[in-house]
Structure 1
């Protein structure tokens, strides 16, 4: 187990380092932030002075290694826009993203699991047809389009809910609903397929032949094994949501991590971009590491292997 954990931690470190490296060099292609930060009509000398103050006049590789060493100490530099530590700028947006992601994941998982179980247990009925059509539409509908339609209906036409921003529980409804639609649809389809596959296994038929209660067979022999691929999907979705849903946070003007990264890209604020993407990558890797560990709980064969 120790060796397994060590291997996963090394893989996680390599993955985060790869993301940091790619983001560093790609962000430098965006342009020169000094040009955006100086006053209108500033001369070349003022631009050069600002570049020197920001450390952008040094060779690219020197900037890269200096950035890596600083990040290992938790220092991502000073935000060009906010003139304070970039990591602080990103971290203060994390609660907004985490609360929205948690809400969407909770309701999406509960609704998706219930719908998937109904579709599997009532195979060949009208209920299964309705669930699967709804799940297919939920997965196929672009989240940005759904978000805009919900704003037009509930905010513009009916005037029941705020169009965007954060502050009260009402602000969570539209973005949370938009995100949970995709989550529930994805989980419903996968869980139904997984349950049907497990139901056809020999050990399930053996359990039924032994006279075990249907509830015992379903929860102990079917559902437990069917959850393994579902846990994988939940882990991936959770990592994406906790990293900040860029589209939804932009549509609803939600003050989260995804939105601050977009604002950093628009302003060519390298420290904020680096801090934001590194945090997203770390969250995604950490969540998926937890998923790997959960495999051993759901299936002892994986733990022994």
Structure 2
């Protein structure tokens, strides 16, 4: 077990390093210059020599490998640098926008998991074949809906047509209803698909037939025996979907005009604010790594077969 944990930790460190390296290379390859975008504004009245001095102060003219090592060392020391465009430390900009994005992603994932659970159980328990086929076809429909299109449709229907949830002037929690739905519906599709397949596979196992032969109802067997064994594969795909959840949150915040990492990313892209973009990539990678690491460490606890295997290996 200890070897397994150490391996997963080393893989997590490698993923973070790879995310930093790839994002650094891509950001450096972008056309344009964020310093010139910021300081060549005629309204500032800066001379060419003054702009050259600013570039020297920011280390923009040093070789690329030196910039990489400096940036890597800064991140390892817990510093994310300063935003040239905003004129503030990157950590301050992130701290001001991260809580709203975390609230949206957590609520979106909980809603997606709940929706997937309801679809899977109804599709398994319903005695009507047409309803079962309909429920099993919903994930294919949900996964094909683009987040930005779904968000626009939800605004049009629930805000403009039905006037149930206002888009402008909504409260802090009321304003999250539509964004959470727009984020959760596409994410719920793969969760529901994997959960339904896992339930179908577990129901063919011998212990399920034994439990039914003893007089237990199908609903009781489903909840007490089948569901417990069908959860681990669903939990695994849930960890993988976390990256898609973050990407969907960025799009959702842009569609609904929410302040968060999505809006910050949009502004940073428009201004070519490399420091902000680098930090957002690292935060997304860190979140993805932590969630998947938690899932990997929880799997031996949830699945007795894995726990026995690790026990035997150690």
Who is 1:11 aligned against?
Answer: 11
**Deviation string, structure 1 residues 220-247 (Cα, Å, up to 9, x no partner):** 3311111111111222334543577221
Matched-pair contact (CA < 8 Å) for 1:164–1:252: no
Q: Unpaired runs of 5+ in structure 1? A: none
Q: 1:157 to 1:50 in 2, by over 3 A?
A: farther
Matched, 1:38 2:39: yes
Trace 1:196-207 onto structure 2 (pairs within 5 A): 196-207=200-211
Q: 1:29 to 1:163 in 2, by over 3 A?
A: farther
SS of the residue aligned with 2:192? helix
More off after superposition, 56-65 vs 193-202: 193-202
Matched-pair contact (CA < 8 Å) for 2:111–2:184: yes
**Deviation string, structure 1 residues 260-304 (Cα, Å, up to 9, x no partner):** 123222211111111111011001000001111221122121123
More off after superposition, 166-175 vs 140-149: 166-175
Match of 2:155 among 118, 139, 151: 151
User: Distance in 2 between the 1:271 and 1:192 partners?
Assistant: 43
User: Distance in 1 between the 2:15 and 2:180 partners?
Assistant: 29
Q: 1:164 to 1:75 in 2, by over 3 A?
A: farther
User: Distance in 1 between the 2:300 and 2:169 partners?
Assistant: 41
Match of 1:139 among 136, 143, 157: 143
**Deviation string, structure 1 residues 181-239 (Cα, Å, up to 9, x no partner):** 11333322221111111111233223333555545532333111111111112223345
Q: CA deviation at 1:166?
A: 7.8
User: Distance in 2 between the 1:291 and 1:59 partners?
Assistant: 41
Who is 2:230 aligned against?
Answer: 226
Matched-pair contact (CA < 8 Å) for 1:136–1:185: yes
SS of the residue aligned with 1:96? helix
Matched, 1:260 2:261: no
Q: CA deviation at 1:149?
A: 1.4
Cα RMSD after superposing both structures = 2.3
Task: Please give the TM-score of this superposition, normalised by the length of structure 2.
Answer: 0.89
Matched-pair contact (CA < 8 Å) for 1:244–1:256: no
User: Distance in 2 between the 1:167 and 1:230 partners?
Assistant: 34
User: Distance in 2 between the 1:72 and 1:162 partners?
Assistant: 44
Matched, 1:115 2:116: no
User: Distance in 2 between the 1:164 and 1:232 partners?
Assistant: 38
Match of 1:190 among 175, 194, 204: 194
Matched, 1:287 2:288: no
Q: 1:146 to 1:174 in 2, by over 3 A?
A: same
User: Distance in 1 between the 2:98 and 2:229 partners?
Assistant: 34
**Deviation string, structure 1 residues 117-136 (Cα, Å, up to 9, x no partner):** 11123376122122123322
Task: Please give the TM-score of this superposition, normalised by the length of structure 1.
Answer: 0.91
More off after superposition, 272-281 vs 189-198: 189-198
SS of the residue aligned with 1:57? coil
Trace 1:10-159 onto structure 2 (pairs within 5 A): 10-30=10-30, 31-41=32-42, 44-122=48-126, 125-159=129-163
Q: What is the number of equivalent residue pairs in this alignment?
A: 305
Matched-pair contact (CA < 8 Å) for 1:97–1:256: yes
Who is 1:296 aligned against?
Answer: 300
Q: 1:13 to 1:225 in 2, by over 3 A?
A: same
User: Distance in 2 between the 1:284 and 1:163 partners?
Assistant: 30
**Deviation string, structure 1 residues 86-125 (Cα, Å, up to 9, x no partner):** 1221132111011111212222211210111111233761
Match of 2:249 among 235, 239, 245: 245
